[in-house]
Amino acid sequence: MNRKSTFCIFPFGRVPADPDDDSCGCDSGGRRLIAIALGLLCTLGAIGWFVHRTVEDNLQQRLSQELETILRADVSAMLFWLESQRRIARTAAGDPNVVRTVTDILELKEGLIDIDELTQSPQLQELRQTLAWFLDVHEYPWFLVIDPFGMVIAASGDSDIGTLIAPEHYANLHKVMANESVVSLPYYRRERVEPSTTLLPGSDDSISPTIYVAAPIADDTGTVLAAIGFRVRPEDDFTRILSIAQRAGTGHAYAFSERGVMLTQSPYDKQLKAAGVIPDGDDSHSMLHLEIRAPEGNMIAGFRSNVDRRAMPLTRMAASATAAGAEVRFPRVVSDVTGYPDYRGVPVIGAWAWLPEHRFGVAAEMDYADAYKPLLVLRCLFWALFGLVSLSCGGGFAYLVANQKIRQRMKKAEGEARQLGQYRLTDKIGEGGMGEVYKACHVMLRRPTAIKLLRPDKTGEDALARFEREVHLTCRLNHPNTIAIYDYGRTPNGVFYYAMEYLDGLNLAELVKRSAQQRPARVVHIMRQLCGSLNEAHGIGLIHRDIKPANVLLCRRGGLADVVKLLDFGLIKDMFNRSGPQISMTDIVVGTPHFLAPEAVQAPELVDARSDLYALGLVGYYLLTGQYVFVGTSAIDICMKHVKEPPVPPSSRIRSSIPKDLEDVIMCCLEKKPAQRPSSALDLMRRLDACACAHEWTQDRARDWWRDNDPTEERRE
Q: Which residues pair with 552 in a beta bridge?
A: 566
Task: Please report the pLDDT score of residue 667 as a whole number.
Answer: 96
Q: Report phi then psi at 362, rounded to 5.
A: -130, 135
Task: Report CA 624 to chain centroid distance, whole Å.
Answer: 48
Task: Please report the pLDDT score of residue 417 as a whole number.
Answer: 44
Residue 484 neighbours by CB under 8 Å, 6+ apart: 478, 500, 501
Alpha-carbon distance of 68 to 709, in angstroms, equals: 74
Q: Using an 8 Å Cβ cutoff, are 59 and 379 in contact?
A: no
Nearest to 257, CA basis, from 235, 288, 284: 288
Q: DSSP secondary-structure letter at 234? A: I
Classify domain 246-371 by CATH number. Answer: 3.30.450
450/170: higher pLDDT? 170
Question: Does pLDDT of 72 surpass 80?
Answer: yes
Domain boundaries of the chain, sorted by first residue:
94-232, 246-371, 506-716
Question: Does pLDDT of 341 surpass 60?
Answer: yes
Range with lowest mean pLDDT among 44-53, 195-204, 266-275, 381-390 = 195-204
Classify domain 506-716 by CATH number. Answer: 1.10.510.10
Task: Please report the pLDDT score of residue 684 as a whole number.
Answer: 96
Task: Please report the pLDDT score of residue 541 as a whole number.
Answer: 86
Average pLDDT of span 48-52: 76
Range with lowest mean pLDDT among 427-436, 516-525, 655-664 = 427-436
Range with lowest mean pLDDT among 197-211, 500-514, 538-552, 554-568 = 197-211
Task: Report CA 614 to chain centroid distance, whole Å.
Answer: 53
Task: Please report the pLDDT score of residue 548 as a whole number.
Answer: 93
Alpha-carbon distance of 432 to 458, in angstroms, equals: 11
Question: Does pLDDT of 275 surpass 90?
Answer: no
Question: Does pLDDT of 643 surpass 90?
Answer: yes
Tens of pLDDT, residue by residue over 535-544, are 999 998 888 8
H-run or E-run covering 34: helix 28-93
Tens of pLDDT, residue by residue over 673-700, are 999 999 999 999 999 999 999 999 999 9
Tens of pLDDT, residue by residue over 281-339, are 777 788 888 899 999 899 888 888 888 888 899 999 999 888 865 555 567 888 999 99
Question: Does pLDDT of 21 surpass 70?
Answer: no
Range with lowest mean pLDDT among 69-83, 189-203, 281-295 = 189-203
pTM of the model: 0.48
Q: What is the 3-state secondary structure (H, E, C) of 366-432?
A: EEHHHHCHHHHHHHHHHHHHHHHHHHHHHHHHHHHHHHHHHHHHHHHHHHHHCEECCEEEEEEEEEC
Average pLDDT of span 263-269: 88
Task: Please report the pLDDT score of residue 30 as a whole number.
Answer: 60
Question: Does pLDDT of 496 surpass 50?
Answer: yes
Tens of pLDDT, residue by residue over 577-608, are 544 444 443 344 556 889 999 999 998 888 99
Label residue 193 by pLDDT band (50, 70, 90): very low
Alpha-carbon distance of 664 to 667, in angstroms, equals: 5
Nearest to 407, CA basis, from 21, 34, 25, 29: 25
Question: Is 3.40.50.1950 the CATH classification of the domain at 94-232?
Answer: no
Question: Does pLDDT of 404 surpass 80?
Answer: no
User: What whole-number percentage of the chain has pLDDT above 70?
Assistant: 82
Average pLDDT, the chain: 81
Task: Please report the pLDDT score of residue 704 as a whole number.
Answer: 92
Alpha-carbon distance of 670 to 664, in angstroms, equals: 10
Alpha-carbon distance of 157 to 682, in angstroms, equals: 135
Angle at 10 between CA 9 and CA 12, to 5 degrees: 120
Q: Which amino acid is at 693?
A: C
Alpha-carbon distance of 542 to 571, in angstroms, equals: 10
Q: Report phi then psi at 488, rounded to 5.
A: -155, 165
Alpha-carbon distance of 244 to 253, in angstroms, equals: 9
Task: Please report the pLDDT score of residue 292 as a whole number.
Answer: 92
110/2: higher pLDDT? 110
Alpha-carbon distance of 262 to 544, in angstroms, equals: 95
Burial of 682 (0-12, 13-18, 19+ CB in 10 A): middle
Q: Confirm whether 94-232 and 246-371 share one CATH topology.
A: yes
